[in-house]
Structure 1
Amino acid sequence: MTNFLQARVKFLEEQNAIFVNNNMLLIKENTLLKQTVEVLEQALAKQKENTHNQQEQLNSQQQEINRLKERLNLNSSNSSLPPSRDLYRKKKENKHQSHRKPGGQAGHQGYIYQPKPPDKIVELKPDLCSCGGSLKIKNRFTAKQRIELPPIKPYVTEYRCYHARCVQCQRKIVAPLPVEVGKDLLGPHAKAIICVLNGFCQNSKREVQAILKEIFNLSVSLGLVCDTAKRVNKQLESSYISMQQKIKNSEYLHIDETGHKNKGERGWAWVFTNQEDTLLKLTTSRGQQILSETLGSYSGKVVSDRYAVYNYFWPDKRQICWSHLTRDFERFAHSLNPSLSAEGTRLVSLSKEIFTLTKAVIKELIKENYYLRRISKVKREIGYIFKKILRIRGIPHAHRVIGRMLKSFSMMWLFVKEKGIAMTNNLAERQLRKYVIYRKKLLFTWSEWGNQYVERMLSLYL
């Protein structure tokens, strides 16, 4: 029995030693597994961080792609780009073919030539009848006028200033020229024609030289054309100052600006206009000091875009151009962000409704009370949509634009209270367009007097 127990104890001790050894192995294995788990957890955390960074980078790249796509979709209808820079122009839909023939239509008031007093009369009398009989001339005739422009020949006046000597004091004396003649080679009509051709008709100085030779039979040098422009520029100074004073005292103004260069340096062309007068000003600055120098403390109404410089004027006397606003709304509508696109489409629809209502009330197709009620409702809805857009994520550019619109929200509705104020700045843009054409054809200016000449000449004809 004792031997059996000893053997059993020995067996159990051996089994226990095996279990202890296995336990030690398991502890080591568990330690290794814990270390492996820690390494894997660290790798997983790092992978999550990398995934998060990659996702952020992907989102950033996607936003950049969307921004570039939206920039690629910019055109003259949803931005300030001119129509000439549209990359992809929509083809106009074919209109329904009219059954009317080209030319004047039935019932159209025609133009009948009114005979003018003749400078020369040629009497034509028939000689013989086809039967050989003699003719008795009646005191009745049919008149046919033909107009011709006579060849133009320059009218040259020569002033001969005779020399004399005083018999008493022997002093030499030369007869003076008349006051109105001066030392100019060309007379006032010739100078006016040169400046009209160069300024209003937008011909280059070389083209003016050719026109004078081919049409007026007057050969002049390019230097004389330039000198004539300089002399006329000085004579226009008083008229330009008078026009600037008239602009200052006007009840309302449309103001806009565009790029200009003098001697290759960046500058700006400003236009101040209303239905009666237009003032063009070429400057090196686009800041408020130009408004201060030109208009002083102007107290009238101003129609302009949202450019911050125009905050120089009182907010309650400013009207922001709705054409510019509509282009911004169109840009929202073309956004790749579906939420912004939906709100932009609604804003475009409301903008078109405002234009339609305003045209209808001007033509007296709707009553004033209905117009005011409807505009008030549209105004509230536009304000609500603006705030709604601010809650959309991932559109920082739209947020900036809407923020500026909300700051100037009260300036969008002056045309409702003031009936003489237009809701767009199209008048200034049309006038400025004439300068842009001049700039395109004759390039820029290269002197201070050149700036003054362009200002004064175009201000007379805009």
Structure 2
Amino acid sequence: MEENCLAYGIEISDSDWYLTPARVKQLVERMGQHIKKSEEKLAELEAKQQELLEKINCTSKNSSSPPSLDPLHAEKKPEKKKSGKKRGGQPGHKGHSRFLYDVSECESVLDHHPKTCRCCGEILLGEDANPYRHQIVEIPPISPIIVEHRLHQLMCGECGTLTRATLPQDVYPSGYGVRVVALVTVLSGLYRHSQRMVQSAMLDIFGISMSLGTVNNLRLEASNAVESAVEEAKIYVQNSQVVGADETSFFQGNVDGCNDKKSLGWLWVAVTPLVTFFEIALSRCSDAARNLLGENFRGILNSDRYAAYNWVGLEQRQLCWAHLKREFIKISERPGVSSDIGNALVKQQEKLFELWHRVRDGTLKRCEFQLLVQPIRNTINSSLEEAANYEIGSKEKTPLAKTVRTCRQILKVEPALWLFVTVEGVEPTNNAAERAIRPAVIWRRTSFGSQTQAGSYFVQRMLTVVTTLKSQRRNVLEFLTQAVSAKRQGQPTPSLLPQVLATAEESKMLLKTHEFIQFDFSN
């Protein structure tokens, strides 16, 4: 009890305590116990308060939540000062004129000549070698081309048997041509319209009436037509040198009995510059990640710190610095020691990417970049180790305890933070995979997922086809038309793999479409 008194600044000798009446001793002991419980309760409430504050202050800058979910009190970007200039292109700005089609594509070419001089009225003769071109683009009334096949039934004069003619081999029994199938698929898979909206569009725009069941059947036909091409794309991605991966939830119902456990589905994506592969699985575990990347994956994986990717060696991984930045900001917003550690980490991260932007812009050589990164790496490691060395309880939930656990987790994978410094072609963020998966998130929100396994196959295959063809600047409608036609005729499916490029300039142009891989850390 004497120790408790000293803890609260009360000095008491052994003799004084000995002479203290027993009832007073009991009262003091009870008060000491009460104070101890009150302090424990206060610490628990403070930890709970800090936890609630972190949830309230959770934004897109310190967590993985999208900017659209930022609370109203979140810090907004400062408004830019008005320059006083007029809107639009400024003097010296390179103008962009309207695209003109080639003359060979024109329905007709009409020449217009001035008859008289606008100054003196003199009659004008001759031809302009380089006339001003003005084109009118119009769409003719769209009407479907309908071919009717009449199958006659005749009776045999000898035995009386009725025999009906059969359709020619090149006539598909569904009653819809390959381009109709492709159009339905593009409206559903590229533009993410519901089946009822696709039904309405086909009637309103093309004058083709079909039931909702027919819409679904045509979607499934296109899905089966591109199956082999998608599998080929999967193998290509698994054998690529650098792959970005990410995953998001995607609901799959149990209408067909293929999800009797009612497991939550997950949409996985693997991204390379010119081929992207999507896959829906009823799991978010390591087995699903292995199936996505391949059991014998030998490339470099660019991802976040999710544990399902831990089977890939650290020497093959580049962890996303965009996620790390948010973690550092979250740490800096906590009270006490966490704030100092977090601010130090944020400062070093900003220095790192100031240098990286110079490497990307070509103003800093990579060899110089590697030398300048070393002290930054040492400082970041020192801050992480400083936090990791604090002793905390196994179930402690204080802000400092959260910081310590986060820093210890980062230190375990520290070698995977710096692969982009030494290996060209590796980006420091996983922004490419996150951007690729964004259309799927929008699709999920508008469709509420799929109800069958076949529906999930349609989603993953269409996302693979559309994303891959867009990155290669290939026409989605034409590819799907060719794929459905090949499937009906029993011919090989067209490939999603990059085509042989005509020139090096064309190759550079395609790679420029993937500049979204570069992440802007100024936000």
Q: Is 2:466 the partner of 1:461?
A: yes
SS in 1 for 2:373: helix
Looking at structure 1, the residues matched to 77 and 388 of structure 2 have their Cα atoms a distance apart, in angstroms, of 36
**Corresponding residue to 1:111 among 91, 96, 103:** 96
For each residue in 1:46-67, what CA deviation from the matched residue of structure 2 results, as whole angstroms up to 9, or x when unmatched? Answer: 2112212211221221122122
Q: Quick one: which amino acid aligns to residue 70 of structure 1?
A: E
Q: Is 2:448 the partner of 1:443?
A: yes
Q: Is 2:391 the partner of 1:406?
A: no
Q: Quick one: which amino acid aligns to residue 324 of structure 2?
A: L
SS in 2 for 1:258: strand
Structure 2 partner of 1:19: none
Structure 1 partner of 2:326: 327
Distance 1:120 1:352, change over 3 A: same
For each residue in 1:370-401, what CA deviation from the matched residue of structure 2 results, as whole angstroms up to 9, or x when unmatched? Answer: 31122111111111101111345652222221
Distance 1:62 1:168, change over 3 A: same
Q: Is 2:287 the partner of 1:299?
A: no
Unaligned runs of 5+ in 2: 1-16, 255-261, 393-397, 468-523
For each residue in 1:20-42, what CA deviation from the matched residue of structure 2 results, as whole angstroms up to 9, or x when unmatched? Answer: xxxxxxxxxxxxx9886122122
Q: Quick one: which amino acid aligns to residue 454 of structure 1?
A: V
Distance 1:149 1:199, change over 3 A: same
Distance 1:92 1:126, change over 3 A: closer
Q: TM-score, normalised by structure 2?
A: 0.75
Structure 2 partner of 1:44: 28
Structure 1 partner of 2:498: none
Structure 2 partner of 1:416: 421
Shift of residue 139, structure 1, vs aligned partner:
6.3
Looking at structure 2, the residues matched to 169 and 139 of structure 1 have their Cα atoms a distance apart, in angstroms, of 82
Shift of residue 137, structure 1, vs aligned partner:
9.3
Shift of residue 248, structure 1, vs aligned partner:
1.5
Q: Quick one: which amino acid aligns to residue 387 of structure 1?
A: E
**Corresponding residue to 1:226 among 211, 216, 219:** 216
Q: Is 2:232 the partner of 1:242?
A: yes
Structure 1 partner of 2:365: 367
Alignment of 1:112-151 (within 5 A): 112-113=97-98, 114=100, 116-117=102-103, 118-120=106-108, 145-151=135-141
Distance 1:100 1:40, change over 3 A: same
**Corresponding residue to 2:42 among 50, 55, 58:** 58
For each residue in 1:348-376, what CA deviation from the matched residue of structure 2 results, as whole angstroms up to 9, or x when unmatched? Answer: 11111111211212322123343112211
SS in 1 for 2:297: coil
Greater helix share, structure number: 1
Shift of residue 442, structure 1, vs aligned partner:
2.1
Looking at structure 2, the residues matched to 421 and 204 of structure 1 have their Cα atoms a distance apart, in angstroms, of 38
Structure 2 partner of 1:13: none
SS in 2 for 1:269: strand
When structure 1 is superposed on structure 2, of 432-441 and 213-222 the one drifting more is 213-222
Q: Is 2:260 the partner of 1:261?
A: no
Unaligned runs of 5+ in 1: 1-32
Q: Is 2:210 the partner of 1:210?
A: no
Distance 1:362 1:158, change over 3 A: same
Looking at structure 2, the residues matched to 424 and 437 of structure 1 have their Cα atoms a distance apart, in angstroms, of 22
Distance 1:144 1:244, change over 3 A: closer
Structure 1 partner of 2:178: 188
For each residue in 1:294-329, what CA deviation from the matched residue of structure 2 results, as whole angstroms up to 9, or x when unmatched? Answer: 312111110111111111112210111111111000
Contact 2:388/2:405 (CA < 8 Å) preserved in 1?
no
Looking at structure 2, the residues matched to 111 and 172 of structure 1 have their Cα atoms a distance apart, in angstroms, of 69
Distance 1:136 1:321, change over 3 A: closer
Structure 1 partner of 2:382: 384
For each residue in 1:216-254, what CA deviation from the matched residue of structure 2 results, as whole angstroms up to 9, or x when unmatched? Answer: 122222221111112111112111111111112111210
SS in 1 for 2:243: strand
Structure 2 partner of 1:96: 81
**Corresponding residue to 1:284 among 277, 282, 285:** 282
Q: Is 2:272 the partner of 1:274?
A: yes
Contact 2:115/2:123 (CA < 8 Å) preserved in 1?
no
Looking at structure 1, the residues matched to 408 and 170 of structure 2 have their Cα atoms a distance apart, in angstroms, of 62
Contact 2:57/2:74 (CA < 8 Å) preserved in 1?
no
**Corresponding residue to 2:166 among 173, 176, 187:** 176
Q: Is 2:69 the partner of 1:85?
A: yes
Over the matched positions of the two proteins, sequence identity in percent amounts to 28
Looking at structure 2, the residues matched to 449 and 261 of structure 1 have their Cα atoms a distance apart, in angstroms, of 13
SS in 2 for 1:262: coil
Shift of residue 161, structure 1, vs aligned partner:
3.2
Shift of residue 407, structure 1, vs aligned partner:
0.7
Looking at structure 2, the residues matched to 89 and 109 of structure 1 have their Cα atoms a distance apart, in angstroms, of 38
Aligned length in residues: 426
Looking at structure 1, the residues matched to 270 and 49 of structure 2 have their Cα atoms a distance apart, in angstroms, of 40
SS in 2 for 1:102: coil
For each residue in 1:147-188, what CA deviation from the matched residue of structure 2 results, as whole angstroms up to 9, or x when unmatched? Answer: 211010001111233445678988765443233322112101
Shift of residue 443, structure 1, vs aligned partner:
2.1
Shift of residue 209, structure 1, vs aligned partner:
1.5
